[in-house]
Amino acid sequence: MKTVRWLSGILFWVVRVCAYLYGITVLYAAYNLIFEPATLVLEDNNRFIINYPFTGRAFLLGWLDMAFLCEMFLGIGLYAVFFYLLSNVFKIFRDKPLFTAKGISHLTRFYFANLTVPVAVAILLSFISSELSIMFMIVVLHAILGIFAYFMTAIFKQGYLLQKDQELYI
């Protein structure tokens, strides 16, 4: 169990940093597209280039089209949330009492988000996007992940109840 705690601690921080980087990317892109600073390059054919700060190197490329912008902000923003929720799942395995109500809560949020949000976003974006096959694959992958997390939640609930019963007998 020591290796699991060590590995989950590393994965917690790696995934949490990814969540913050995705969140910062959304804020940085929104700032550039709203205020049009020097890091934003607008091209004639309705394209934009957002450069890394203080450089001329491209960071984000895209089209100034409402459908593209919705896909971009929803995709990056929701993956920031996904990585944050995933980091909370890894955090569960770092804690000393493994089966806790807080851990069950984190797992429940994770599986619920994976089973509902991708479907809702795919339905919303199906009206404005042409990338339906990619969206379908993403929805299926998140559904598989959500079902697996649901199974883990059921196991954790059972472990939590057994742990509480054992504490009553001691």
Torsion of CA 70, 75, 76, 79, to 10 degrees: 150
CB atoms within 10 A of CB 79: 17
Residues 19-37 have pLDDT tens digits of: 999 999 999 999 999 988 8
pLDDT at 165: 80
Pick from 149, 158, 152, 163: which is nearest to 115 by CA? Answer: 149
pLDDT at 149: 97
pLDDT at 6: 95
pTM flag (> 0.85)? yes
Domain residue extents for the chain: 2-169
Q: What does the block give as tokens for 60?
A: 């984000």
Mean pLDDT of 131-138: 89
CA atoms of 119 and 84, how far apart (whole Å): 19
Residues 61-71 have pLDDT tens digits of: 999 988 899 99
Average pLDDT, the chain: 92
Mean pLDDT of 110-130: 92
The residue type found at 149 is A
166 pLDDT exceeds 80?
Answer: no
pLDDT at 144: 98
170 pLDDT exceeds 60?
Answer: no
Packing angle of the helix pair 66-92, 2-35 (nearest 10 deg): 160
